[in-house]
Homo-oligomer: A and B are copies of this chain.
Amino acid sequence: MAEKFVSERNLRFLLYEVFDITSLLQYPYYAEHTPEVFDMILETALKIGRDMLYPHLEEMDKTPPEFVDGKVKVHPVVRIFMKECGQGGWISAMAPMEIGGQQLPNMIGLVPGFIFGAANYSASVYPGLTTGAAHLINSFGKKELIETYVPKMFAGEWQGTMALTEPQAGSSLADITTSAEPTDQGYYKIKGQKIFISASEHDGVENVIQLLLAKIKGSPPGLKGISLFVVPNKRINENGELVPNDVNVTGIYHKLGYKGCPINQLSLGENDDCRGYLVGQPNKGLAYMFQMMNEARIGVGIGATAIASAAYYAALEYAKERPQGRRLTSKDPTLPQISIIEHADVKRMLLFQRAIIEGSLSLLLQCSKYSDLEIVLEGEEKEKYSLLLDLLTPVAKSYPSEMGILSVSQALQCLGGYGYCDEFPLEQYYRDVRIHPIHEGTTGIHGLTLLGRGIIRKNGKAFQLYLENVQEVIRRAENDPELKPYGLELKDALKRLQEVTSHLIDVATKEGPDLFLADATLYLEFFGIIAIAWQWLLQALSVQKALKNKDGLSEADANFYQGKMYAFRYFFGYELPKIEGLAKRLTNGDGLTVEMKADLFSD
């Protein structure tokens, strides 16, 4: 195992230098915190990641959860970790103090998620889901519901989940059929099947609380008739005891990776005795659920980036230690071999990974900052950050997910044959990271969300705000002689983005949604590359600021900033040009994929 799985230095750089997290302390909501608190969170999370999670990474993969007699047995560290997450306040970190939270900014809240995810992605999902589920109950549930469930979830004693998917309803939630029948006892009787539900039953906690979508009998068809319920696996009876709530695990999935966390099939109400508690108003469930889904989407972006980070440091360690070959200019076989990190192509593979990982992490922190500002601001400013977050969420989910796969694949490639073998962790990372373009909405769905909703929403208001944000960074770069050429490149790229977007909106008007959205996935990729270039330019501005005071820098810091500049240049040199081909396609759409008939795939 490599010694390192994340860069603490880079986290500090992003938090303090790029996104200036301390600026949030001016708002009363965050005023009780100090930079020391943030530092402590960072350090403690690193310690937990290193000591509690990372040592079990391989073991949790090799001995996945077992499903025996209706029970799901998970690795014993899950219980220990959930307890730690409860006692250490990791689950409640970002919740308001009034309900027992710590009211920490999302920016710092992202850090443990990232560190835990890099140390052991499967383990990190248990508290991550619980956090999202508790927030959801808190946002829309009645007082009684909050009081019954949230403290236990914050304490890490009860697991939270999101229970959406059904056999006939994956991407198409309009088609769920799980039913909820009102009773005069204040609860609903739930009946149905859910599939692909992460952590929906396991022995690492006392109880599992499903945040579940169902249709109240008689509700309108489709998305407009979906309601949100709290469905505990065990409910509290009159005596305050936990008793079974007729939620039964009917199967467990055997997966490519992400094996440390069980994904189950559930049957609810087999014995007509499954009670669900309505959250908020009937038929508004999907709108509520979007809060948890959007949180989870950022979480997926973080998870993908985290796995890629761990893979990168494993590849880096190997590249430094493995001697192989000689310089192209001195092939004398009697000379000793050089470390493979000396080969340009290996450095290229490593820089590719850094460009993806550090660019993605920056975008995720940017989104978290929008989220933090949305909480404390009012009126137009609040709306601004809400719109920006909404626009960028599919990008912050999908770019790290898709590029994370390629990043881990390059990490594996750095090790050659060893990368393919299980004596190194790369093959596991390669399997683990593949989940991300699938769960919490496939990449295809996010393409539709970005182009078909985000861009055109409110007459393009979010898109305009986004352009302004990027333009502001370009302006700053134009004032820096070293960064000016990159600023101009991003300016060009942004112009391309506007042209492509206008073109597509034109298509929408003239040709309708089929042609408009045919290449939405490519648009998402195109948009994502430019968004990451923006984040890299933002980082480069902070680097230049730090380098102005060159003499005061330690050698480690000087190396860090210089390394950053190389990764930045890599992104602009190797990744940003990919928009050329995408722009060409997106402005030359010929409806190929719309017009082709399914029969023509026969042979």
Contacts and interface: CB of A to CB of B under 8 A. Distances in A.
Interface of A: 7, 9-10, 165, 168-172, 174-175, 195-196, 221-223, 253-258, 263, 316, 320, 323-329, 331-334, 337, 339, 341-351, 354, 405, 409, 412-413, 416-417, 419-423, 427, 430-431, 434-435, 437-439, 442-444, 447-448, 512-514, 517-522, 556, 559-560, 562-563, 566, 569-570, 573-574, 577-582, 584-585, 588, 590, 592-594, 596, 598-603
Given A598-B341, A601-B341, A417 B170 contact: yes
A175 B329 contact: no
A592 B355 CA distance: 13
B348 A518 contact: yes
Contact of A592 (B339, B413, B569, B600): B569
Given A170-B416, A345-B593, A256 B431 contact: yes
A253 B424 CA distance: 11
Contact of A434 (B430, B512, B521): B430
12 contacts: A9-B603, A171-B324, A174-B333, A253-B421, A254-B422, A256-B422, A257-B420, A329-B514, A344-B518, A413-B443, A563-B600, A569-B590
Closest 5 pairs (CB-CB, A-B): A222-B333, A577-B581, A580-B580, A563-B600, A256-B427
B345 A444 contact: yes
A594 B344 contact: yes
At the interface, is chain A mostly helix, strand, loop or mixed? Answer: helix
Contacts of A169: 324
Nearest to A10: B603
A562 B600 contact: yes
A221 B520 contact: no
A582 B420 CA distance: 28
Chain B CB within 10 A, most for which of A171, A594, A598: A598
Contacts of A196: 417
A447 B394 CA distance: 35
Nearest to A590: B573
Contacts of A562: 600
Given A329-B513, A438-B420, A593 B447 contact: no
A416 B256 contact: no
A343 B333 CA distance: 57
A570 B256 CA distance: 30
B326 A602 contact: no
B405 A409 contact: yes
B603 A520 contact: no
Contact of A442 (B416, B423, B513): B416
A442 B221 CA distance: 54
A569 to B, nearest CB: 6
Contacts of A195: 417
A361 to B, nearest CB: 13
A251 to B, nearest CB: 10
A294 B494 CA distance: 45
A25 B339 CA distance: 52
Contacts of A423: 253-254
A560 B344 contact: no
Contacts of A517: 328, 344
A442 B417 CA distance: 9
A25 to B, nearest CB: 26
Nearest to A4: B603
Contacts of A603: 7, 9-10, 556, 559-560, 563
B566 A171 contact: no
B577 A578 contact: no
A172 B325 contact: yes
A196 to B, nearest CB: 5
B566 A168 contact: no
A255 B430 CA distance: 12
A324 B416 contact: no
Contacts of A443: 413
B345 A520 contact: yes
Contacts of A320: 598, 601
